[in-house]
Structure 1
Amino acid sequence: MNKNKLFRASLIAAFAITAPFFANAQKANWQNLDLKTDSVFGISTEKAYKELLKGKKSTKVIVAVNDGGVEATHEDLKRIMWVNTKEIAGNGKDDDKNGYADDINGWNFIGGPKGSVDHETLELTRSVRRGQVRFANTTDANVSEKDKKDYEAFKVERSDLETKLGEANANLAGLSGFKSALDAVVKKIGKANPTTEDIANFKPVTNADARIQEVLAEELKKGSFEDFYNEQINEGIKYFKEQIDYNLNLSYDPRSIVGDDQNNDTEKFYGNNDVAGPDAMHGTHVAGIIAADRTNKLGIMGVADNVLIMGVRCTPNGDERDKDVANAVRYAVDNGAKVINMSFGKAYSQNKAVVNEAMKYAASKDVLIVQAAGNENQDIDTENNFPNHKDLDEKTIASWLTVGASGPKDDETLKASFSNYGKTQVDVFAPGVKIHSTVPGSKYKDLDGTSMASPVVAGLAGLIRSYYPKLTAAQVKEIIVKSVTKVNHNVDYTKGEGPDAPKVSVPFSDLSISGGIVNAYNALKLAATYEGKSAAK
């Protein structure tokens, strides 16, 4: 799962400075504001509530958050959590006979009787591990003709893993070096949390001191030293260490915690009922964007005002397994979800077929899938990003939305620098930069990512299905795509990685099928015209 820790490689490698974030977007709730009224490129949710939905009746809709965990007791989520009323909490029995005992708020497919999986390997790591066993005694000289294709693929994957591990080690060393230089400057200043004035008054002794001063002068324009140090330095070191210790570690395998048969992708009944798990940061943030309580005068306001959040845990701090993804989709569908948000993705897939079948099942049951496009700044028309619908039928695709991330300003920076894109694989863009939402401990935090853009759209889908319950999943997707605010200018982004990667300027319309940013106001107006129509073809 992408954890949305988008640490700047340039900062890690060379203490480079980034531009300050657009000031107006610091407003909490900017994703729900209106471009014309509020000067930020939100989706006009508040305008829709004020002008279109006031006094209008709606029905409850269940939106599943298939993710890394949701804190069901959060002050801004507890009222809108789905509760399985057919279960008796805590009796250890499967009262509703759905195969999952005590599934009160949802289910955890990466847990077992003795706990839950936190960190995991990447799918790439697992694939190389399987290849090492299979090709233990194979060389270029003795590989059989029937195994040659798979052996060559294994060598490519092994090389990819070695590259990623090398990069993680280099990034950890670079960021650790930066931290040491930074700590030395802070010690010289004599204050644990220096201010802008302290930095300006500091007299550098070495070139490293001068560079640190330059970086801090820019960073403190955007926030406090404490936030910068914790979120960029400490979290960065933790992130790269976790990559080395867990994600890219061929010796690491936590699956025994679950207790399932790893080789049986048809197995469905395993896991536990802990929908939060050991790290509910990501899923809780996603849930708040969709539906944080709009009536309690606390924290934030979600997009949808009458949906229930079902927590389905299937993504660890690493890559999700296809079996768990498929089972999470089926669980959500079978237990009443009408929209499923999937803010995760990976570059390799062991068994795409099992996920494909689950997606077809969701489409057959009139459930809309909303998926994050990914945070690698890649064209996913050509680069692998799983799950995807490249080999699926039109009916399934008609019930599946893929979402890229946009920023707050209607200019060349509109495409979020990290967001994946694709003229045939990405349907729409939505706000995904500095999104303020719920996190564990009844707290709130800003996060970036297509992981944040996807629940904006899932919330909109839930809103439409709540106020127009007769519309099909395919119709809801069609409405969302047709009603975007079209963007008629170019956007800039870096193509590729590294200091020599070229910057390009392309029409925003080239980045997705719709060529625009989702708009709740437009979508609800269009939905009103669809009432009574037959399903979109």
Structure 2
Amino acid sequence: MKLSKIGFLIIIIFISCKSAKDSETSSIQLKHEDKLTSLSLQNWYQKDYSLDKTPGISLDKWYTQNKKQAKNKNIIVAVIDTQIDLKHEDLQGQIWANLNEIPNNGIDDDNNGYVDDINGWNFTATKSGGYVVWGNFEYVRLIRDWASSFKDKTESQITTQELPKYREYQRALKTQEKENIYYTRWLSSLRHSVKNYPLIKDTLKHFFPKEDYTYQQLDSMYKKHKINSKTYRQMRENDDKDLGALIYYMMINVEDNKKTLGDIKEDEAQLDSIVNKNLNVDFDERISIGDNPIVLEKGYGSNNVSNNKVGYRSIQDHCTKVSGIIAANRENKIGIKGIAQGAQIMPLNTSFSGDEHDKDIAMAIYYAVDNGAKVINMSFGKEFSLQKEWVDEAFKYAEKHNVLLVHCSGNNHFNVDENPYYPSDNNFDGSKEVCGNFINVGSISSKLDSTFVSTFSNYGKQNVDLFAPGDKIYTTSSGNTYMSDSGTSLAGPMVSGTAALIWSYYPKLTVQEVKQIILDSGTAYDIEVIVPGTKDKMVPFSELSKSGKVLNVYNAMQLAEKVSKKKR
């Protein structure tokens, strides 16, 4: 799980159905936007445009009108992610339990290859009893593993067969160089900030005794000194104490919600770990896990999917947020309402600060399938894949067993038809898709204007299947709390929850049918939007994904019923 450059992801951070294609889908031409209140923002994504003038997934509409009882409420949704807060009040009764395993007896009672796996498995646990917190980015692993074949060689020295790997190696080198410069400069800036913070505070007290300065006031003072950011960097490197440089720093601090010295020191510690662990070819977190990294095997890791020690709550944030969207209890009158009441969350830990290992991804998929999951949510991604073939085979295994894979498209605001992003059902070489059970999900906001597609969301007419709400989503969080967050990581579970809901009512549908139902039943908005990653490039919303639509639960359930009846 990669850290964003616009903010830290703190972890101390997816056979076509002819009958479905014949269905009618709604197409909406937007004429205005109704402003949402703070309260309605908490559940905007569950609303319906025709009823509420809000481009949600029409979940409330379906639950309000549905009078049927589910045939199988306990659909298992595997969430491949970080650790989870098993004690969260809104997830009680919603966590999968392995009834074939006797708790804590040190025996693999069900002979599935995992000892005491009561609620899932942690594939990032270490042999010493801990778990990985910091790990390499994938391009760093690629550079380390392929150096013996390609280091210091030119393209003319490479065989035709090895040329694709050589070029990927070169791409990895360029990525590491760019990222290393970026994060090293950022770390240098933070070290300068920590060193000079007391001086800055004391200096500004001379002008603002009550320390009640605003960004605008500091900006006015700063302009008098005509110090630009380049000059500031030079002063920082020379440890300059110029007033203009000090003001410039505090402007950044105020703009960043008035961080304290403690906050800045925490940022400094994290950046130090990025530079010396995430980006360091000589650091290999796999050693602490103690497995054989070049062999697919069962049993490494541990059954601890929820470390509840004091100070460890943030490592559970991501999975807890994702899981709440899918399955938070709808009937307990607290917190939020998940999409699929009764769905069971199977937490499978693979994520830490860095990029997930392809081995862990593949083994988590095999575990999920073998232990009864119908849907697998993967709210993570990376721009390189060292052992994609392992993941591809796991995808095919899931398809063979009628299991749906749901993946977030990523937050890089780029076109994934042109920029590889993994895991994916695409080989990015023009060949046929690996499998037919994979849905890639982009993010939309609640704004019915040119910014309808979230500014951070990846997109692609071929490789993003549809969009779902992922902007300002209020959900469960670690430490038994609730909060709003944004990212395609939150759009993916909207689709996972919908798939679980479909199967709970129509269990005989195939995975290909469920996928096609979700894509065909979405809402097609007739609107021009800004392409993410650009300032003002406008295109029809329909051009940014394969379906050109937004997830619609009500339509999906209606269509699922029609398809199910035709199968009888």
- How would you bin the TM-score normalised by the shorter chain? 0.7 to 0.9
Q: 1:98 aligns to what? A: 112
Distance of aligned partners of 1:494 and 1:518 in 2 relative to their CA distance in 1, 3 Å threshold: closer
Deviation, structure 1 residue 442: 0.6
Q: 1:18 aligns to what? A: none
- Pick one of 212, 217, 222 that aligns with 1:206: 222
| Letter in structure 1 aligned against 2:487 | G
Distance of aligned partners of 1:396 and 1:293 in 2 relative to their CA distance in 1, 3 Å threshold: farther
Higher deviation after alignment, 518-527 or 266-275: 266-275
8 Å CA contact retained: 2:406, 2:495 = yes
Q: 2:290 aligns to what? A: 259
Q: 2:134 aligns to what? A: 119
Q: Does 2:413 align with 1:372? A: no
Q: CA separation in 2, counterparts of 1:519 and 1:5?
A: 32
Higher deviation after alignment, 344-353 or 27-36: 27-36
Listed one character per residue, the Cα deviations across residues 437-476 of structure 1 (whole Å, up to 9, x for unaligned) are 2222111222211111001111111111112222222111
8 Å CA contact retained: 2:456, 2:532 = no
SS in 2 for 1:444: strand
Distance of aligned partners of 1:230 and 1:463 in 2 relative to their CA distance in 1, 3 Å threshold: farther
Q: CA separation in 2, counterparts of 1:242 and 1:438?
A: 28
SS in 1 for 2:324: helix
Listed one character per residue, the Cα deviations across residues 314-358 of structure 1 (whole Å, up to 9, x for unaligned) are 122111111111100010011010000000111111111110000
Q: 1:416 aligns to what? A: 454
Q: 1:269 aligns to what? A: 299
Q: CA separation in 2, counterparts of 1:357 and 1:67?
A: 20
Q: 1:335 aligns to what? A: 371
Distance of aligned partners of 1:25 and 1:430 in 2 relative to their CA distance in 1, 3 Å threshold: farther
Higher deviation after alignment, 109-118 or 379-388: 109-118
| Letter in structure 2 aligned against 1:205 | M
Q: Percent identity?
A: 37
Q: C-alpha root-mean-square deviation of aligned residues, in Å?
A: 3.4
Q: Does 2:474 align with 1:436? A: yes
Q: Report the count of equivalent residues.
A: 506
| Letter in structure 1 aligned against 2:561 | A
Deviation, structure 1 residue 43: 0.8
Q: CA separation in 2, counterparts of 1:513 and 1:173?
A: 43
Q: CA separation in 2, counterparts of 1:437 and 1:267?
A: 35
8 Å CA contact retained: 2:107, 2:116 = yes
| Letter in structure 2 aligned against 1:348 | F
Deviation, structure 1 residue 217: 9.2
8 Å CA contact retained: 1:122, 1:319 = yes
Deviation, structure 1 residue 218: 8.2
SS in 1 for 2:93: helix
Deviation, structure 1 residue 303: 1.4
Q: 1:498 aligns to what? A: none
Q: Does 2:201 align with 1:165? A: no
Q: CA separation in 2, counterparts of 1:231 and 1:46?
A: 43
Q: CA separation in 2, counterparts of 1:375 and 1:335?
A: 31
- Pick one of 341, 358, 374 that aligns with 1:322: 358
Q: CA separation in 2, counterparts of 1:230 and 1:100?
A: 45
- Pick one of 506, 514, 520 that aligns with 2:539: 506
SS in 2 for 1:165: helix
TM-score by length of 1: 0.84
Q: 1:462 aligns to what? A: 500
Question: Which structure has the larger Rg?
Answer: 2
Deviation, structure 1 residue 506: 0.9
Listed one character per residue, the Cα deviations across residues 169-218 of structure 1 (whole Å, up to 9, x for unaligned) are 234445677897897498565668x6xx9667889533369878988998
Deviation, structure 1 residue 141: 10
Q: Does 2:93 align with 1:79? A: yes
8 Å CA contact retained: 2:144, 2:281 = yes
| Letter in structure 2 aligned against 1:270 | Y
Q: Does 2:442 align with 1:404? A: yes
**Gap regions ≥5 residues in structure 1:** 9-21, 220-224, 496-500
| Letter in structure 2 aligned against 1:245 | N
Q: CA separation in 2, counterparts of 1:212 and 1:438?
A: 35
8 Å CA contact retained: 1:66, 1:340 = yes
Distance of aligned partners of 1:361 and 1:255 in 2 relative to their CA distance in 1, 3 Å threshold: same
- Pick one of 521, 528, 531 that aligns with 2:561: 528
Q: CA separation in 1, counterparts of 2:120 and 2:518?
A: 27
Q: Does 2:552 align with 1:519? A: yes
Distance of aligned partners of 1:206 and 1:200 in 2 relative to their CA distance in 1, 3 Å threshold: closer
Q: Does 2:488 align with 1:473? A: no
Q: Does 2:92 align with 1:62? A: no
| Letter in structure 1 aligned against 2:83 | G
| Letter in structure 2 aligned against 1:506 | V
Distance of aligned partners of 1:53 and 1:419 in 2 relative to their CA distance in 1, 3 Å threshold: farther
Higher deviation after alignment, 85-94 or 439-448: 439-448
Listed one character per residue, the Cα deviations across residues 62-105 of structure 1 (whole Å, up to 9, x for unaligned) are 00001112121211113200011111111111111111011011
8 Å CA contact retained: 1:289, 1:301 = yes
